[in-house]
Each structure stands twice: as C-alpha cells, then as structure tokens.
Amino acid sequence: MLAILCPGQGAQSPGMLSPWLELPGLAESLDAFSEAAQADLRQLGTEADAETIRDTRYAQPLIVAASLLSFQALVGEDGSAVDVTAGHSVGELAAAAVAGTLSAHDALTLVGIRGRAMAAAAAVTPTGMSAVVGGDSDEVEDAILANGLTAANVNGGGQVVAAGTLGQLAALTEAPPAKARVIPLEVAGAFHTEHMAPAVAEVRAATGSLTPADPRATLLSNADGNSVHTGTDALERIVAQVARPVRWDLCCRTMLDLGVTAAIELAPAGVLSGLARRTLPGVQTLALKSPDQLDAARELVREHGGVR
C-alpha cells in the first residue's frame, strides 16, 4: 500500500525547481500554477534567495507547486496507484490535489490566497515557532502550556513545535523541559494558533467558488489523522487547519493502521521522510528531491501502489 506525502512550510530551498523544469511539460504547468497563485513561481523557484522564499506569501505556493510538479513527473495524469495521501500543514493542499479533491489550478489558487492571508496575520504581532525535540512528552506539553504557547505541530518521533509570541518562545528556550532541546524555526509567524484566526475567514471566503470532488484515494486530515470521505469536508478541514494544530503523529498512526508499506515524499522532500524513520517503522520511504530519483520512485509505485 502506497502513501504519497506532501511537505509543509520550511522545506523550501533556493533553486529547488530548476531540475524539474528540464522535464517535458513541467515548465508549462508551472506557468499555469503561477497564474493561479498570482506569484512568479518560476523566478521564485529558480533565482530567488533563501530570505525571499522564506516569506509566507511565496513559500506556501512554491512548496505546493513543487509537490505537484514532482507528482506530475512521477505518475502523469494517472493517480490510481496512490492508496493514501497526507500533507503536513500547507501540504494538505497538495495532498487534496493528489487525491483528486481539488484540481491543481484550484489548489494553487487557494494556496496563494492562504499564503497572503497568513502573512498578513503574522504581521500583526511578532510571533514564531520553535521545535522541542526529546524530553518526556507530558513534561514537554506542560512546559509549552505554562509559557502560554500552543503545541502547533505534534509531529511524533519526540518532536513538538511550539508557537506563540517571541517573548513566550524566549522563555521556553531559557528554561527548556528536562532532556529536551528547543530549536527556533525559520518561519514568519505562529502558524496553526489563534494568531492565525484573521486568515481563516479570508481563506474560507475563497473556497466559495470551488467545487471539491470526493477523494479518489484515502485522504488523511491534519486535524485528527482520520480519513476524509467527502470533498466538502476536506475543504472545510483545510480552512479550519489554518488556525488549528497539525497532528502529524495521528496521520502516521493511521497510515500504520491502514497497512501502508511504502511512502514517497514529494518535492521539496526530506523533512517528512526523516520523521518517517521514527514514526513509520517498517515502511519503505523515499524522499523525491530531484528527477534523478524518479526511476526509484516509480519502482516503489509499481511494487506497492494500487492496493486499496
């Protein structure tokens, strides 16, 4: 059983789209994605520096575009081999497209709006996020709550991402939980917390013109790790998730319960595959970072896909 994983914000790197644009048809797809997202994704993905693509307005559509370009290169128009798909944070929009719930055009249109709305919300108050790695899970949770922070990403494998004001994060860094490390993340705001509430209404309004389809593959939700059965529910969950925590640990638990045997992380890959080594024991994983890995990825598709 094959799972397709779609990474979230922070996975981007300068020049990451350049090798993909050498493949037939992908440059044309990227131009269409740019028009939908209202951003020059070709320039951002080939020429822009790290600081520019750290900006939420650009990072989010760039990551979703990279995922969908690599998926197009992997399977073309045929997504029938995908049994399960899940995305981390903004990766949920790419996963929705992988599952056929949203068209690629609609996913890029919505992520463009989402990125701009979340950037505006983040500008209201200086906020951020820090990964808390290691330590006792109960003690980590207590320390996060005691500092007025939110456990915005519960990733499993002993990693929780705390989010809140910069002062709250500094206090956690100065007095971390026992046997835990607090690592500041290069993000522009406290995503998946109440600080993002102003963005929710804007993203929801943008969904009014969309007509989502029911998923053709098992589509997992960040809200609780459960599968989503209708396009309407999937879209509503994507909207609400802007200001709610990401439970990637529960998505991984569901994948194990379903019997997933292999997982391919779409570009810009690496983060979720790294987590998978601790959260998906026994599952064969591949981080699809460049076109050079397409043959290996296609072999996994042939061996593990289309089980459902």
What amino acid positions are annotated as catalytic residues? 89, 192
Find out whether 81 and 306 touch, Cβ atoms under 8 Å.
yes
E strand or H helix at 162? strand 159-165
Beta bridge partners of 262: 2, 284
CB contact set of 226 (below 8 Å; sequence gap of 6+): 220, 250, 254
**Integer Cα distance of 65 and 87 in angstroms:** 13
DSSP 3-state of 117: helix
**Integer Cα distance of 195 and 172 in angstroms:** 18
- Amino acid letter at 222? N
**Integer Cα distance of 185 and 288 in angstroms:** 23
CA distances (Å), origin 203, targets 36, 173, 234 = 15, 33, 14
**Integer Cα distance of 32 and 108 in angstroms:** 9
Find out whether 238 and 210 touch, Cβ atoms under 8 Å.
no
